[in-house]
């Protein structure tokens, strides 16, 4: 594997899940693979889980780790080509990237959608520049349009907790006070469409995701109907994708918050969310604190998804 940006990079998904579960059983058995290798994690945006779990995954493989917070202590980076650099950004990403590549063997990049240009975001301009100019294997730690390490961890979690061979998995939009990227729901859809699950997406009208990720999955505008018989409820907010509303908040309808009344419509479903989560906007206190909540096991599996990906990039 030369880079990791989407589900296809994993090849056979069943093999990848099997490998991940084996790694989980003995996460130090590949410690020799990363010996004398350096992992560079570049953050253009904040993180708790990705930062800690990916660093831990690298350590499990014997790697050294360098973390660069671009917005804290580094030169401000220009990302657009052709700009006359007479402003407050003294360094261009096109020099910074190959320089970063000199100091490491694998690079992880976190760079969220900026919602200034849909083309800039959906062409994954920043992540692709790292892939093109760093000279090193690159993996997404959540980019503008995808969060594949999260979706892989989510799939591992579903595999561990599912009670039927082909569970019903519902991705539901839920309200949030800020405009959030579509990266998590995009990647979740990307992975669920490849997995052996019955996949349903529910959201208010106007929140349709890019068909590249939805790929014909059932979209149900009635959240309660979507929840009927569900085995897993995956909640997430996202801002509008479709033009002319790209990046906008169209609704903050709290009737879409996942609460116990909604969960009672399901097949005693597990509740999932990638975290961080706004309680009583996305999900009620009682649901996230219930025994059916998988938010902590999901977060724990971020170490496993990252380690599986790093192992493959090193090999």
Q: Select the span of 23-31, 111-119, 123-131, 269-277 touching ligand CP (CB under 6 A).
A: 269-277
**How many chain residues are in contact with ligand CP, going by CB under 6 A?**
9
Compute the least distance from the CB of residue 241 to ligand CP, in Å.
Answer: 20
Instruction: Compare residues 152 and 173 and give the one whose CB is closer to ligand CP.
Output: 152
151 contacts ligand CP (rule: CB under 6 A): no
Residue 296, interface with ligand CP (CB under 6 A)? Answer: no
Query: Does 136 participate in binding ligand CP (rule CB under 6 A)?
Result: no
Tell the smallest beta-carbon distance from residue 305 to ligand CP (Å). Answer: 11
Check residue 275 for interaction with ligand CP (CB under 6 A).
Answer: yes
Residue 47 makes contact with ligand CP by CB under 6 A: yes
150 counts as binding ligand CP under rule CB under 6 A = yes
Under rule CB under 6 A, residue 274 binds ligand CP: yes
Residue 48 in contact with ligand CP, rule: CB under 6 A: yes
Pick the stretch among 43-51, 57-65, 92-100, 211-219 that binds ligand CP (CB under 6 A): 43-51
**Shortest spacing between CB 101 and ligand CP, in angstroms:** 23
Give the footprint of ligand CP on residues 168-227 (CB under 6 A): none
DSSP codes joined into one string, the chain: --EESSGGGG-SHHHHHHHHHHHHH-TTTTTTTTTT-EEEEEESS--SHHHHHHHHHHHHTT-EEEEEETTTTSPPEE-STT----SS--EEHHHHHHHHHHT-SEEEEE----SS-HHHHHTTHHHHHHHHHS-S-EEESS-SS--HHHHHHHHHHHHHH-SSSS-EEEEEE---SS---SHHHHHHHHHHTTSSSEEEEE--TT-PPPHHHHTT-EEES-HHHHHTT-SEEEEE-----STT-TT------GGGSB-HHHHTTSSSPEEE--S---BTTTB-HHHHTSTTB-HHHHHHHHHHHHHHHHHHHH-
Residues at the site binding ligand CP, with contacts judged by CB under 6 A? 47-50, 142, 150, 274-276
């Amino acid at each position: 594997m030369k880079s990791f940006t989407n589900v296809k990079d994993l090849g056979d998904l069943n093999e990848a899940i099997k490998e991940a579960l084996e790694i989980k059983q003995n996460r130090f058995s590949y410690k020799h693979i990363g010996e004398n290798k350096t992992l560079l994690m570049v953050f253009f945006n904040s993180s708790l889980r990705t930062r800690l779990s990916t660093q831990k995954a690298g350590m499990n493989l014997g790697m050294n780790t360098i973390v660069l917070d671009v917005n804290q202590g580094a030169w401000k980076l220009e990302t657009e080509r052709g700009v006359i650099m007479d402003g407050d950004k003294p360094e261009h990403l096109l020099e910074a990237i190959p320089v970063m590549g000199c100091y490491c063997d694998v690079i992880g990049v976190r760079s969220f959608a900026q919602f200034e240009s849909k083309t800039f975001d959906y062409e994954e301009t920043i992540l692709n520049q790292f892939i093109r100019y760093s000279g090193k294997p690159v993996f997404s730690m959540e980019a503008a349009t995808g969060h594949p390490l999260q979706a892989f961890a989510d799939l591992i979690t579903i595999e561990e907790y599912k009670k039927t061979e082909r569970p019903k998995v519902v991705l539901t939009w839920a309200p949030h006070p800020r405009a959030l990227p579509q990266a998590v729901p995009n990647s979740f859809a990307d992975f669920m469409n490849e997995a052996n699950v019955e996949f349903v997406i529910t959201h208010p009208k106007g929140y349709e995701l890019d068909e590249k990720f939805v790929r014909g999955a059932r979209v149900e505008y009635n959240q309660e109907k979507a929840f009927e018989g569900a085995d897993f409820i995956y909640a997430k907010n996202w801002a509008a994708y479709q033009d002319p509303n790209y990046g906008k908040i169209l609704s903050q309808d709290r009737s879409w918050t996942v609460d116990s009344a909604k969960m009672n419509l399901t097949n005693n479903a597990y509740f999932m969310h990638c975290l961080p989560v706004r309680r009583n906007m996305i999900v009620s206190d009682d649901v996230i604190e219930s025994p059916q909540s998988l938010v902590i096991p999901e977060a724990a599996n971020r170490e496993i998804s990252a380690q599986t990906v790093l192992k493959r990039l090193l090999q």
